[in-house]
Amino acid sequence: MFLFLLACAAREPVLPTPPPALVVPPPSIDRGTQWVHGSDAHKAVLATIYQDAAEELAERAQALAPETAWAVVSDVDETLVDNSGYQLETFGNFTPETWAVWEEQGKAVAYPGSVELVAQVHELGGKMAFVTNRANHPATLALLQAQGLWMEGDVLCTRTESSDKSARRASVLEGGSLCGWPEMPVQVLGYWGDQMGDFPSADEASSAPAEDWGETWFMLPNPMYGSWAE
Ligand SMILES: [Mg+2]
């Protein structure tokens, strides 16, 4: 009997209690991206700014002498199109490699109201100068066309060796060859962007008054990323 019990004990060893499974929390989406991607508040802010920009523009365009060549200088990302999908896909971890794929795939979408705003520029007789630090020119042009933001006669100025946009803005004004319409200087009736670098610096030539917020300068909100976060 003793040997039998000994044999049973040998066959059924008492195993140590396993440690509790590790709980790995899912990566979180930051509040700024949530706000841009899904909030009605963001849509309301966009509608407010776009409406103001459209009204100011109409006033200025109609006050110009006939045949005056004019344009709006606008950034693209987070000014006219939404890349919160990229932020969601990458959990806000920007890398040049994943961004290049995003650009190539053309997955940004026009913000509600941006197509109508740009259409108004064209209807008023102006042109768009899209000045962006995207690097992929063909993919960006295809995106603008697909989203209904592009019209024949507009210009797209993608990133040069420098992310500084001042030389491209100067070229638009002067009718240079770097950006804009060669041999055709234009008046710029509006600057639209989501970063300070989208607007002329204090010592930069501009046909719109400096720091003319809400008149010719319109800043769109971007709580997801920017030079302020670096
Ligand atoms: Mg931008």
List, for residues 134-143, the tens digit of each pLDDT value: 999 999 999 9
Q: In the predicted model, what is the mean pLDDT of the chain?
A: 92
Structural domain tally of the chain? 1
Task: Report residue 164 as tokens.
Answer: 């500084």
CA–CA gap between residue 165 and residue 177 (Å, rounded): 14
Residue 6 has pLDDT above 80, yes or no: no
Q: Using one digit for the tens of pLDDT, what is the confidence trace for 32-83?
A: 999 999 999 999 999 999 999 999 999 999 999 999 999 999 999 999 999 9
Report how far ligand 1's centroid is from the alpha carbon of 104 (Å).
Answer: 17
Report how far ligand 1's centroid is from the alpha carbon of 190 (Å).
Answer: 15
Residue 78 lies in a domain: yes
Residue 220 lies in a domain: yes
Residue 16 lies in a domain: no
Residue 230 lies in a domain: no
Q: Using one digit for the tens of pLDDT, what is the confidence trace for 104-121?
A: 999 999 999 999 999 999
Residue 210 lies in a domain: yes
Residue 12 lies in a domain: no
- pTM exceeding the 0.85 threshold for the entire prediction: yes
Report how far ligand 1's centroid is from the alpha carbon of 77 (Å).
Answer: 4
Residue 10, pLDDT score: 52
> Within 13 Å of residue 33, how many CA atoms lie on the same side as its CB?
15
Report how far ligand 1's centroid is from the alpha carbon of 194 (Å).
Answer: 5
Q: Which residue range(s) make up the domain with 188? A: 31-225
Residue 26 lies in a domain: no
Give the number of other CB atoms < 10 A from CB of residue 98.
13
